[in-house]
Amino acid sequence: MTQTTPESTGTAPAPQGTLFLDGEAHAFQPGETILEVARRAGKTIPTLCHDPRLEPAGACRTCLVEIEGMRRLMPSCAMPATEGARVTLESARIDRHRKSLLGLYLTDHPEAETVAARRRPNLLLDMAERYEAPTDWPKMAPLRASRSGDTNPYIDFDAAACILCARCTRYCDEVESVSAISLAERAAQTTIATADSRSLLDTTCEMCGGCIDTCPTGAMAEKRPITLGAKHEQELTKVRTTCNFCGVGCQLDLNIDPEADAGRGRIVKVTSPPVGTTTNDGNLCVKGRFAYEFVHHNERLTEPLVRDEQGQLVPATWEEALARIAEGFGRVKERHGADSLAFVSSSRCTVEENYLVQKIARASMGTNNVHQCAAT
């Protein structure tokens, strides 16, 4: 076996140069921005419109830094790292700028109680609190239109909570590439719209929910938890697991309300893990993000069933059902031999369960007749 186990794809080129962040030297690689170098070095630079999956927009101005030799503050998300650059991440000037900027954002943003109704984290309010932004500036009259009458059951848009960072529309263009939503109208009326304000159901939208995942304020949010009045995302228990649909193996977080459904617990929503930590890179599709209601469906089987003498399936205890199996398989094996039995396992079940099915076929019953639907 000549198998090797590389540390990386072998694609990472050697560091290209060095820049200075608050006086400290940091190596950077070709194509990296100042923000990327800083975050890799564990520095905190606040951002609202930045998403590593998207091209830099430089729109929200929260990531401004001082670069020696440049007169104005510059957006670190859009500035390429250059050899010898001296960058200041924290200064009185930056702090002053940030406070005013966040204060201005807040004049066009609903109160915390209204925002909480979205049941999603709000990065703007967190940031305003952390940087002690002024909260008492007079509020603007909200002029952005939401899309009333959109009957799609999954994605809800509240224009009031939108800060027009355009992460959702850029995600729709650049990542999902269906361009179902875009910025529309002008000035204070600018909003996120579909063609002719149609329901998302009647657009090219594939309901991947990437707009929700990337939204920093919860303007884009899961509709079901809102209409059901579920708990806020922060009060839910996240269980990281692997999606049960296709073979990509997306990691997802089941957001569980453990007290719901008389203590059995209930999946309130599904969110994706942070960008860059899993194979799916923060992305999910419509099935992964929204198709979990079947778990709680009232047609789930809750009792073993056995066929009675009239040919009807009737409820039975586990003991009865297992005894029937022992008797049934025993009888077939005795009459026709082990190879008259076959086991159909499932590529939907876990590795452990597939292991047990083949072990039962081989070790308990003595046949290699075991397969599943997926051996193409």
Partner 1 sequence: MAGLVTTFGAGAMTNSIGEIREADFLFVIGSNTSEAHPIIAMEMKRAVHRGATMVVADPRHIFMATMAKKHLQIKPGSDVWLLNAMAHVIIAEGLCDEEFIAKQTEGFEAVREAVAEYTPEKAEEFTGVPAEDIRWTARQYATTERAGIYYTLGITEHSHGTDNVYALANLVLMTGHLGKPSSGMNPLRGQNNVQGANDAGATPVYYPGYQNVNDDAVRKKYEASWGVTLSPKPGLNLNQMMKTLGQDLKGMFIMGEDIVLSEPNVKNVEEGLNRMEFVVLQEPFLNETARFADVILPSSVFAEKDGVFTNSERRVQRVRKALDPPGNAREDWRILLDVAAALGTPWEHLDSPAAIYAEMCQDAPKFAGLSHERLEREVHQGKTGIQWPCVDEQDPGTLYLHKGGILRGKGLFTAVHYRPSMELPDEDYSLVLSTGRTLYHYNAATQTRREVGLHAKQSEAFIQIHPRDARRRRIEDGDMVTVTTRRGEVTCQAIVSGQVRRGSIWMPLHFAEARANLLTSDAGDPVTQTAEFKVCAAEVRRAPESAQKGAADAPACGSAFPGSFYREAVPQNRQP
Residues 261-320 that bind partner 1 (CB under 8 A): 264-267, 276-281, 283-288, 290-295, 297, 299-307, 313, 318
Q: How far is the CB of 280 from partner 1 (least distance, A)?
A: 5
- In the complex with partner 1, the residue whose CB is nearer, 29 or 135, is 29
Query: Which of 4, 44, 148, 312 is in the footprint of partner 1 by CB under 8 A?
Result: 4
> Cα(234)–Cα(186) distance, rounded to whole angstroms?
34
Q: Assess contact for 118 and 226: CB atoms under 8 A.
A: yes
Q: Which is nearer to partner 1, 143 or 342 (CB)?
A: 342
Question: Does 137 contact partner 1 by CB under 8 A?
Answer: no
Long-range contacts of 295-300 (CB under 8 A, 24+ apart): 295/267, 296/261, 296/266, 296/267
155-157 and 305-307 beta bridge pairing: unpaired
Site for partner 1 in 79-118 (CB under 8 A): none
**What is the token pair recorded at 246?**
């296709």
Yes or no: say if 239 and 265 are a contact pair by the CB < 8 Å rule: no
Kindly give the pairing relationship between strand 64-67 and strand 86-88: antiparallel
Nearest to partner 1 of 186, 300 (CB atom): 300
The torsion angle over the Cα atoms of residues 276, 278, 283 and 285, rounded to 10 degrees, is 170
The single residue among 93, 234, 249, 259 that binds partner 1, judged by CB under 8 A, is 249
Single residue of 5, 148, 310, 312 touching partner 1 by CB under 8 A? 5
Among the listed ranges 25-33, 83-91, 131-139, 246-254, the one in contact with partner 1 (CB under 8 A) is 246-254
Nearest to 202 by CA among 211, 210, 194, 191: 194
The pair of three-digit structure tokens given for residue 161, joined into one six-digit string: 């909570």
Report the distance separating Cα 279 and Cα 304, nearest Å: 38
Q: Are 255 and 268 in contact (CB under 8 A)?
A: yes
| Minimum CB distance to partner 1 smaller for 235 or for 339 | 339
The answer to whether residues 183 and 164 touch, using CB atoms and an 8 Å cutoff, is: yes
Question: Per-residue x/- mask for partner 1, residues 146 to 165, rule CB under 8 A?
Answer: -----xxxx-----------
Smaller CB separation from partner 1, 39 or 61:
39
How many CA atoms within 13 Å lie on the side-chain side of 169?
A: 16
Interface stretch with partner 1, choices 65-73, 94-102, 106-114, 198-206 (CB under 8 A): 198-206
Q: To the nearest whole angstrom, how small is the minimum distance from the Cβ of residue 143 to partner 1?
A: 29
Sites for partner 1 among residues 318-347 (CB under 8 A): 318, 321-326, 328-333, 335-336, 338-347
Angle between helices 92-107 and 123-130 (to 10 degrees): 140
Q: How far is the CB of 289 from partner 1 (least distance, A)?
A: 10
**CA distances to 37, 118, 154, 233, 326 from 226, in Å:** 38, 7, 10, 11, 49
User: Of the listed pieces 61-69, 77-85, 87-95, 356-364, which binds partner 1 according to CB under 8 A?
Assistant: 356-364
CB 121, min distance to partner 1, A: 20
Cβ of residue 88: shortest distance to partner 1, in angstroms?
Answer: 29
For residues 11 and 83, which CB has a smaller minimum distance to partner 1 in the complex? 11
Binder to partner 1 among 207, 212, 221, 230 (CB under 8 A)?
A: 207
CB of 72 to partner 1, least distance (A): 30
Instruction: DSSP letter for 79, please.
Output: S
CB of 75 to partner 1, least distance (A): 21
Candidates 88, 135, 190, 354; binder of partner 1 (CB under 8 A) is 354
